[in-house]
Amino acid sequence: MVILEATNIQKYYGDFCALAGVDIHIREGEFISIIGPNGAGKTTLINCLTGFLKPDTGQVRFKGKDIAGMGPEKLSKMGIARSFQLVHIFPDLSLIDTLKVAIISRQGKGGRFFASLSKDKVLHQQALEVAELFGLSDRLEETSKNCPQGTKKLLDVASAFALHPEIILLDEPTSGVSTSEKNKIMQVMVDASKKIGIKTILQVEHDMDIVFSYSDRIIVVQQGKILADGPPDKIEKNEDVVCNVVGQKECFQTFNRIMEMNREERA
């Protein structure tokens, strides 16, 4: 079943075409990674899919309903969530209060949410459940700004899971952390999505090992268009895709050797 789709969406910034007639169909149960070089249009695409931007032409539909430009608050109530990066917005809050802010803000309770953080027992229980799923229960009272980068990333992702959405969109959930931390974050995220019942994960990610290890499907964006769309094994063998994403013609064989070594190491 198609849960989220974009049909012929175009987006311009002045004379610059960021998206040029993009079509995407995202089905229930998929883990999809969007990749491409800097300036390819990945962020604009995510912003259109999550209501931050309204495309100049075309449609964006969630479960058959046109949601183009609807806005993230309304979409979160419908079942679409996106990571908030609340760690950067409220660095002095504890981890538990950061999760509470994520829940309250997506419930549309407005600017009075700070008054509710310590009084709402249901809210507190919801935040505890999310913290446990992401292995954050031992750090609840720590200030988010003092946490290691890996914990901050987990907290950022956890805030997007806080309302149990049907589909979640993540922008570089593992950037800035070590390889071992990246795999930990990804595995926790996958396990949490199964427990919560999230139907679909859509992420923008630059780490190719993470992309090819966890994705069911990879969408490659280049110059505002979809260059390729398919399963990892198909994308990995596409020389044009690899060279466009990584940026060097000579890298194709090297890339495939690295991917093979990574698979053997995980096995």
Per-residue model confidence as pLDDT tens digits over 49-69: 888 889 999 999 999 999 988
Q: Given this model, what pLDDT does residue 249 score?
A: 47
Name which CATH class applies to 1-79+165-267.
alpha beta
For residue 41 the two structure tokens come to 């249009």
Q: Cα separation of 85 and 102, whole Å?
A: 10
Q: Given this model, what pLDDT does residue 173 score?
A: 85
Question: What are the backbone dihedrals phi and psi of residue 53, each rounded to the nearest 5 degrees, phi first?
Answer: -130, 145
Q: Cα separation of 82 and 246, whole Å?
A: 26
Question: What are the backbone dihedrals phi and psi of residue 167, each rounded to the nearest 5 degrees, phi first?
Answer: -135, 140
pTM to 2 decimals?
0.83
Residue 113 — pLDDT band, cuts 50, 70, 90? low
The pLDDT tens digits for 1-52 are 899 999 999 999 999 999 999 999 999 999 999 998 888 999 899 889 888 8
Q: Cα separation of 219 and 229, whole Å?
A: 4
Residue 250 — pLDDT band, cuts 50, 70, 90? very low
Q: Given this model, what pLDDT does residue 56 score?
A: 96
Q: Given this model, what pLDDT does residue 8 score?
A: 96
Q: Given this model, what pLDDT does residue 101 score?
A: 84
Contact criterion met (CB below 8 Å) for 215 and 232: yes
Q: Given this model, what pLDDT does residue 178 score?
A: 82
The pLDDT tens digits for 78-98 are 889 887 666 677 889 999 988
Percentage of the chain exceeding pLDDT 90: 39
Q: Given this model, what pLDDT does residue 114 score?
A: 57
Q: Given this model, what pLDDT does residue 225 score?
A: 94
Q: Given this model, what pLDDT does residue 156 score?
A: 87
Q: Where in the chain is the domain with CATH 3.40.50.300?
A: 1-79+165-267
- Three-state secondary structure call for residue 147: coil
Q: Given this model, what pLDDT does residue 85 score?
A: 62
For residue 125 the two structure tokens come to 């229980």
